[in-house]
Amino acid sequence: MSKQDNSYKVGMSAFGSIFFIFGFATTFIVTLTAPIKEIFGLSEFGAQLLSSAFFIAYPIMSIPTGKLIDRIGYKTTVIAGLVLMALGSFIYIPAAKLPSFPIFLFGTFVLATGVVFLQVAANPYVTAIGPEKSASSRLNLTQALNSIATMIAPWLISVAIFRGLDPLSSTYAREAADKVPLPFIIMGVIVILVAVILLSIKLPVIAIAKKETKKNILKYPHVVLGALSIFAYVGAEVGNAGLIVNYLKKSLEMSGEEASTYAAIYWGGAMVGRFFGSFMFSGISLSKKITYAIPVLILALVSGSFVTGWNWNIGGVFLGVALVNFLIMQIGTGKAARTLAVFALVAAVLDLVTTFTTGNIALWTIISIGLFNSIMFPNIFSLAVKDLDNAELSSASGLINSLIIGGAIIPPLMGGVADNFGYTYAFIVPAICYMFIFFYAIRGAHIRR
């Protein structure tokens, strides 16, 4: 094995773990809106402000983080992000003990700032560490690792917070609040350990060209429209996920524990779809793609069964939906823009079907959207930074990641619709977001000047 190959593997392994960490943290916060609603007796709009406190960190911190990377490098920025994540995690201890919703929001913002450091550094690092033609494939692989964590987080909430609670009990809110700190304590300890490990290993260095004149990223339409697509995508993904638990509790009369397991399947869909994307956007033959798809389909069966208490019937349905996702992915023929267009259109249709149907049909249409969210972020990102040089990459990443503020705006908007018109009509909002992404895929990504 050459020194260069070994360096590449070390870099991909290290940043794969980073994607796992910030994926877990993000999804945990999004799913936490359901118990927070009960703990503080909030409206759906009020509960979704927890997501807002998380995602508002992106426009505030993303562009400064891009500049910070230019000064101190990717590795040091990631270590600083891990330290901030630990600090934010520990703030949840007094927030839950009091309990205090403002302190919850503050701890969320601090933790989110750490996540921003990680994400702004991780995406361009993975893009630049190898050949441009396989950038989308690498991003889909690391996003798949991210999605393993996003599936675990809702399941952990169902077990660590909802399990054993009686919603009709007068002490329900207090007991739920008492269960919140432990997962955050564990998270804080783990990210500190990862920071220490990263400090002790040598990562490949991505050169950042020094230029006398700073280039203006805003002059590239495909970058700006890509950033707006990230706004729409994150808003839709988080908005759907943030309402799933309470929507299922109300419409299908599920318990919080059971509804959270279906939220885990929603995020598990993103995991499965990104594993598909990790080889579908590479140059391997169709026969090899089909071969690689088999263990991913088995993963869908096992993971869907596991999070629902080893219910193999539900796992089998999830397997069937994953197979349909893989077949639809063939329409994209391994092209990032074409696949993005198809998936965005399907996701929009699924949201609309959820709006106008009920029962198991609505259950599986909203859950299945996770599979079609899967390749959106990495494909939008790779299309948005295409043809940029290393000097422009960190600035473009800062701009793109700042528009993750969609996760702060769309969920409360959906919460407001749910409060005033009912949960089902809230899903029209993300359908509109997906249609904008469809436009970007077929037209916006190809506009240069």
Domain that holds residue 22: 3-204+216-446
SS (H, E, C) the chain: CCHHHHHHHHHHHHHHHHHHHHHHHHHHHHHHHHHHHHHHCCCHHHHCHHHHHHHCHHHHHHHHHHHHHHHHHHHHHHHHHHHHHHHHHHHHHHHHHCCCHHHHHHHHHHHHHHHHHHHHHHHHHHHHCCCHHHHHHHHHHHHHHHHHHHHHHHHHHHHHHHCCCCCCCCCHHHHHHHHCHHHHHHHHHHHHHHHHHHHHCCCCCCCCCCCCCCCCHHHCHHHHHHHHHHHHHHHHHHHHHHHHHHHHHHHCCCCHHHHHHHHHHHHHHHHHHHHHHHHHCCCCCHHHHHHHHHHHHHHHHHHHHHHCCCCHHHHHHHHHHHHHHHHHHHHHCCCHHHHHHHHHHHHHHHHHHHHHCCHHHHHHHHHHHHHHHCCHHHHHHHHHCCCCCHHHHHHHHHHHHHHHHHHHHHHHHHHHHHHHHCHHHHCHHHHHHHHHHHHHHHCHHHCCC
Q: Looking at the domain assignment, is residue 211 inside a domain?
A: no
Report the CATH number that the domain containing residue 302 is assigned in CATH: 1.20.1250.20
109-138 confidence digits (pLDDT tens):
999 999 989 888 877 777 776 666 666 667
Q: Looking at the domain assignment, is residue 209 inside a domain?
A: no
Confidence at residue 212, expressed as pLDDT on a 0 to 100 scale: 43
Q: Looking at the domain assignment, is residue 267 inside a domain?
A: yes
Q: Looking at the domain assignment, is residue 300 inside a domain?
A: yes
**C-alpha to C-alpha distances, 438 to 230, 294, 334, 368, 434, nearest whole angstrom:** 12, 29, 17, 18, 6
Confidence at residue 347, expressed as pLDDT on a 0 to 100 scale: 97
Q: Looking at the domain assignment, is residue 375 inside a domain?
A: yes
What are the mean pLDDT values of the chain's consecutive 10-residue runs (449 residues total)? 57 75 85 86 92 91 84 86 93 88 93 89 73 67 74 83 73 81 87 85 65 68 94 96 92 87 91 84 83 94 92 96 94 88 97 94 95 90 84 79 90 96 95 97 85
Confidence at residue 214, expressed as pLDDT on a 0 to 100 scale: 53
Q: Looking at the domain assignment, is residue 286 inside a domain?
A: yes
Confidence at residue 206, expressed as pLDDT on a 0 to 100 scale: 65
| Tally of domains in the chain | 1
| 94 prior amide bond cis, ω within 30 | no
**C-alpha to C-alpha distances, 259 to 35, 93, 126, 134, 154, nearest whole angstrom:** 12, 25, 34, 37, 9
Q: Looking at the domain assignment, is residue 129 inside a domain?
A: yes
Confidence at residue 377, expressed as pLDDT on a 0 to 100 scale: 87
Confidence at residue 83, expressed as pLDDT on a 0 to 100 scale: 93
The pTM assigned to this predicted structure is 0.82
217-242 confidence digits (pLDDT tens):
888 899 999 999 999 999 999 999 99
What's the chain's Rg over C-alpha atoms? 21
The token pair at 261 is 């397991």
